[in-house]
Amino acid sequence: MGIVTALEVQKSSKERVNVYIDGVYAFSLSLIEAARLHKGQNLSEAEIAALRDEDAILKAVDGAARFLRYRPRSLAEVRRYLVEKNLPSPVVEAAVRRLTAMGYLDDAAFARFWAQNRGEFKPLSPRALRVELRQKGVPDAIIAEVLAELDDAELAYRAGMARARKLRRPSRQDFRKKIGDLLQRRGFSYSTTRETVERLMEELETSDPEYFTLTTETNEE
């Protein structure tokens, strides 16, 4: 048994309350949880243990929320983050369940975010995206669903065009090598790479007849 002797709102966080049992700091709670307590209240050992568990879960949720502030994360990434904080497994799993229920964790939404972000800033082939998403711990069924929505040829075209815009009057031979090597590194197949390079060369030369250097033909002979 223990008696609640004080309830003090934290100075550093107005949304948490320090709870004192028998004159000694015991744990902290959210304002909502602390509102259920009052000074002089008797608590059993089981009630105190449950409140301490709730405190640990809330701290884990708060820590994970800060981790999620920088970008969306997969469920596995958040679980790994909490485990690395040396939190007990029951606390980690309870925090993950709560974050999921709150809508902070959704592997399908995360996978779509990751694929879209890559498509905009660093287009990769679906094959390369699959590897990355697996590393993030996203289940294969979700990965397959998300990748089925992607257009391999369009992703290759975006990647190649972004690189082509940075080239300065390359020869056709240099263009094929630089764009081809890039697309191969990004995980695109040989056929997709070849088709993309030819498409880009045709479009670029049509829009700018002088895109390729005048010595192109000599270099290719």
CATH number of the domain bearing residue 126: 1.10.10
Residue 48: burial class (beta carbons within 10 Å; 0-12, 13-18, 19+) = middle
Residue 122 is predicted with a pLDDT of 95
CATH number at residue 81: 1.10.10.10
Residue 66 is predicted with a pLDDT of 94
Same domain, 113 and 93: no
Q: Which among 43, 61, 76 is the end of a domain?
A: 43
Domain count, the chain: 4
**Residue 158 falls within a domain, yes or no?**
no
**Residue 84 falls within a domain, yes or no?**
yes
Same domain, 62 and 95: yes
Residue 216 is predicted with a pLDDT of 42
Give the mean pLDDT per block of 10 residues along the chain (221 residues). 92 86 91 90 93 91 94 96 96 97 96 96 96 97 97 97 93 95 97 97 93 60 36
Residue 1 is predicted with a pLDDT of 83
Same domain, 170 and 193: yes
**Residue 139 falls within a domain, yes or no?**
yes
Same domain, 120 and 92: no
Rounded to an integer, what distance in angstroms lies between the CA atom of residue 216 and that of residue 169?
10
**Residue 159 falls within a domain, yes or no?**
no
Q: Report whether 64 contacts 46 (CB < 8 A).
A: no
Range of the domain at 175: 164-221
**Residue 156 falls within a domain, yes or no?**
no
**Residue 24 falls within a domain, yes or no?**
yes
**Residue 157 falls within a domain, yes or no?**
no
Same domain, 38 and 9: yes
Whole-prediction pTM: 0.82
Same domain, 95 and 115: no
Q: Report whether 22 contacts 5 (CB < 8 A).
A: yes
**Residue 155 falls within a domain, yes or no?**
no
Same domain, 59 and 91: yes
